[in-house]
Chains A and B, each alone.
Chain A
């Protein structure tokens, strides 16, 4: 298209093929998109990280995987790495988020859990409206990673899961965890228990409820 006069010198941004809506990304967004910070470029090594979490965006199907290294004493985030199967906004937002959590010696876990998607947006200089859900993904991945850390270190009372129902209050395990275990391949109460240690020493009625959930999700996904 080199010789086409109509296109020569025209400033072309990325334009939605269906609506013609233009996406103006701020310079900060572009910078983080083209030079993402704290990416995990190789496969994670077993002992390099203390916790990890993988989440998907129900809005668009993007996926995000996050790994953290946490100083046990101070609970500061010493390292945070990520990978994403996501769009430009997801890449830029997660890159910025990783900087915010690790800069100046790192936030403590408690501080980090208070960082909200809108804080990422502020640091990025804004995102197009329909791209805001992309910044939520980074936050969601970190919350899951933090829960993974709490579970690994036996701090069950600190696990927070939004929009889910707790089925084992000692280990803070929810229906969402059961669904996830089933989606990972566990199909019986025993297999789910092996994965989550759920329900060990619980009353019969609580166990029955968990078993029902396992059956429900097994039938939903594999029936």
Chain B
């Protein structure tokens, strides 16, 4: 379906980034000659241990925290599960209520669902139609038995930046613990945990040109977490298992590079992002930007191109050498449409029609121009195929009658029913 020599335009950096060659170089010895187990007392072990502790210093430097506040993990999911489960189990005597939002990553939402089965009470605060949570609504959701609040730093699908520092103040005043998933934010937003005021913060390597299977969790001194892995005493008894030395070394290097290049790269990407969004919404009729236009990650473009289905769009774009993603139910394992797009108060057709382009270090204006040369043709074809015309202000699904007798969760007159 595609020409072998076709240039690839990769625009799915929110899903994964290529490994920075500088990171690869620094990791390489730890994949081969520096193979020692950091737990060993002999020279090979000590060298591995030193590498980890140097990496920890680097990470603590970027986050402006102490080295013993950093726990290395296998990535974002492990970080979120360890933070949420860890705090819930350590503080359950104090209370069993947890507050979060309805646009969190599945690593958070699914963990909260699991905690619900352990008789924790979960309150999910709805975000506003621009995809940003109102701190006052978080405050209103707090109860005397609230032990933990979790709000992501920036959303993975629509890139909206949440008012973390403001929420942190509210949570602190209340005496609860505050966790944020910063997987998408790292590399683009400030990570100083003192200024942010967070108690737990999760990052992963593969979103910032580091290795897959790498990540770190910041745990503020005084905050207790119960481990989710059992075994050795690694990571101050918070994460058992032999340390993944090359991944840790690579993660620290990737984070350092990202933080050094952050301001320049963010400014460059913001310009490209705005140029892309302007062309998309101007040149393709009935294309709606999902999420706030200003308070969003520099590399995130997420639009619903009404009336056409995301997977079909992706396959057509792929045949033109373009890689991007969608919130369409057709591509998700559960066949559920994106909960984030639905959280904006849009019907599922918006999620079905959503396309996310996430830009990266190698994205140029020329790449965007190329997409804008191909995408309008693709949209034209797929709109001819489509039998529906979704309203630009729709709050309910366009053809509920097509689902009669299906026991589907349908929306008629902006109310949803099961």
Contacts and interface: CB of A to CB of B under 8 A. Distances in A.
B6 to A, nearest CB: 10
B231 interface: no
Given A7-B8, A54-B402, A86 B408 contact: no
B1 interface: yes
B399 to A, nearest CB: 6
A22 interface: no
B399 A1 contact: no
Contacts of B328: 60, 87
Nearest to B325: A17
Interface stretch (B53-61, B169-177, B186-194, B313-321): B313-321
Contacts of A16: 331-333
Interface stretch (A28-36, A97-105, A108-116): A28-36
Contacts of B312: 33, 86-88, 91
B18 A183 contact: no
Interface in B99-131: 106
Interface in B382-418: 384-388, 399-408, 410, 412-413, 415, 417
A18 B333 contact: yes
Nearest to A64: B387
Contact of B386 (A21, A55, A83): A83
Interface string B1-23: 10010011110100100110000
Contacts of B19: 6
B352 A14 contact: no
A140 to B, nearest CB: 10
B315 A14 contact: yes
Given A17-B331, A87-B330, A88-B311, A180 B399 contact: no
B266 interface: no
Interface string A152-194: 0000000000011000000000111101110110000000000
SS of A interface (majority) = mixed
Nearest to B412: A221
B333 A19 contact: yes
Given A33-B315, A85-B308, A87-B311, A54 B10 contact: no
Nearest to B397: A61
Given A4-B18, A183-B412, A39 B384 contact: yes
**Candidate in A1, A19, A174 with the most chain B CB atoms within 10 angstroms:** A1
Interface in A99-157: 130, 133-134
Interface of A: 1-4, 6-10, 12, 14, 16-19, 21, 30, 33-34, 36, 39, 41, 54-56, 58-65, 83-91, 130, 133-134, 163-164, 174-177, 179-181, 183-184, 220-222
21 contacts: A1-B362, A17-B12, A17-B15, A17-B325, A21-B333, A30-B1, A34-B1, A56-B402, A56-B403, A58-B407, A61-B348, A61-B349, A85-B387, A87-B331, A180-B401, A180-B404, A180-B405, A183-B400, A183-B401, A183-B410, A221-B415
Closest 10 CB pairs of A and B: A176-B405, A180-B404, A65-B387, A83-B387, A56-B402, A87-B330, A87-B311, A58-B406, A183-B401, A1-B10
